[in-house]
Structure formats: structure tokens, C-alpha cells
Chain A
Amino acid sequence: DSGVTQTPKHLITATGQRVTLRCSPRSGDLSVYWYQQSLDQGLQFLIQYYNGEERAKGNILERFSAQQFPDLHSELNLSSLELGDSALYFCASSGGGLAGVYEQYFGPGTRLTVT
């Protein structure tokens, strides 16, 4: 158990809909990262927050947004969903704000299926 929690575990929704994925980092960790993993793309970095502020952005679509709240939990919002958005979405946390410097602890993931 990494100490990172994600809800929900599974999500099935239709194209065009909007969903929110939630992540609680390990106790004491200030950084939260979001990743998308699909079969043909591997683990793709989406966005990082550190202590409530956006720190780095990866290949995140404009239809996707995220935020980190004062209690450090984070939410990833996916809107106007398309079939290609079906994937595993992972949240990870680390103690520091420098992505490559610290090991990251991953949650169990949310499996999103868009039909």
C-alpha cells in the first residue's frame, strides 16, 4: 500500500460527458502528479501540483483540468469525453516539488471507460 488513494476505482461513462477523478496523496507529501496510461501510449505525464500551485504541465489536453486543494488532495476533471480517453489514470505523490529528484508513490489508479 503506497498511501496514495484514488477514487473511484472504475468509471464507465458516455462520450461527451464530464467526470472528476480524485486523489489523496501520502501524508506529508506536497506534490501530486497525474498520469494517463493506455495500451498504446505507455505512462504519459499530464500535470503536477506542488502545495496547491501548478508546477509542471505535460501532454494534457485542453479538455482536461486539475487542481490541488488546501488539504492537498487533488482532482482531475475530464470533459467532452471521447472514446480515446479510455485509459488508466494514475495519481502519484512525492515529498518534494522537483519531479525527477524524488521517488513517486503511485495510487491504485482509476480505470475510465468511455462508451
Chain B
Amino acid sequence: SQKIEQNSEALNIQEGKTATLTCNYTNYSPAYLQWYRQDPGRGPVFLLLIRENEKEKRKERLKVTFDTTLKQSLFHITASQPADSATYLCALGSSYKLIFGSGTRLLVRP
């Protein structure tokens, strides 16, 4: 069955550094990959969508890469800020479903 792996351990970094989160998947070939941010007790918030024929996508301080050969997506936040502290979810998409990973918690220390 399809499996999405995101690091269950929190990523703890210093303010100003680049945070890199990993999303690996198996038994699936998604046409789309999405990233969401979720704060405790709140609904996920959409950040970026990347298609299988795109290698990289950027939005302000965010960058996503999508490697269909490695079956991996990397999510980068440059010049991280304490306000970036949250759980980040990757989601694999086809036409008819979007499957979410369990997320990685990011903590940015001032």
C-alpha cells in the first residue's frame, strides 16, 4: 500500500538558518505533491503545490523540490523565523485523492 514518510522527530534549528524537511514515499506515483502548514489545534494551511514534471517551485522564503526518481520531496524554509514553528505536512495527489503524511514538527529557536 502507499506509504508516506516524514521525519517524526522534531527539527530544531536556530533562527536565520535554512530548515529542510523531507517527504519520502513508496508504492505510489503521484502526479502532484502539496505542502501544508498546521498549527496545534487548527486546520492545515496550503503552502505550495508542485507537479511531477516540475523539479522545483518557490514562493517567497519557501522552496519545494520533487524528485520522482528518488520518490522524494524536500521542503526548504530560508531565513527561518520563530513564527515558522509549526508542523509541516506533505500530501501526495492524483486526480481523485490527496493522501497526507503524518507531518514533521519544526521548532525555530530565537
A residues engaging B (CB < 8 A)? Answer: 2, 4, 33, 35, 42-45, 55-56, 58, 88, 90, 92, 98-101, 103-109, 111
Contacts and interface: CB of A to CB of B under 8 A. Distances in A.
A56 B43 contact: no
B49 to A, nearest CB: 6
Given A100-B30, A100-B92, A45 B97 contact: yes
28 contacts: A2-B43, A35-B100, A42-B101, A43-B89, A43-B100, A45-B97, A45-B98, A56-B96, A56-B97, A58-B97, A90-B44, A92-B43, A99-B94, A99-B98, A100-B31, A100-B34, A100-B91, A100-B94, A101-B95, A104-B34, A104-B44, A104-B46, A104-B98, A105-B46, A106-B43, A106-B45, A108-B43, A109-B43
A73 to B, nearest CB: 17
A15 B82 CA distance: 41
B94 A109 contact: no
A103 B34 contact: yes
Contacts of B91: 100
Contact of A90 (B43, B99, B102): B43
B80 to A, nearest CB: 23
Given A42-B101, A100-B31, A107 B43 contact: yes
Nearest to B102: A42
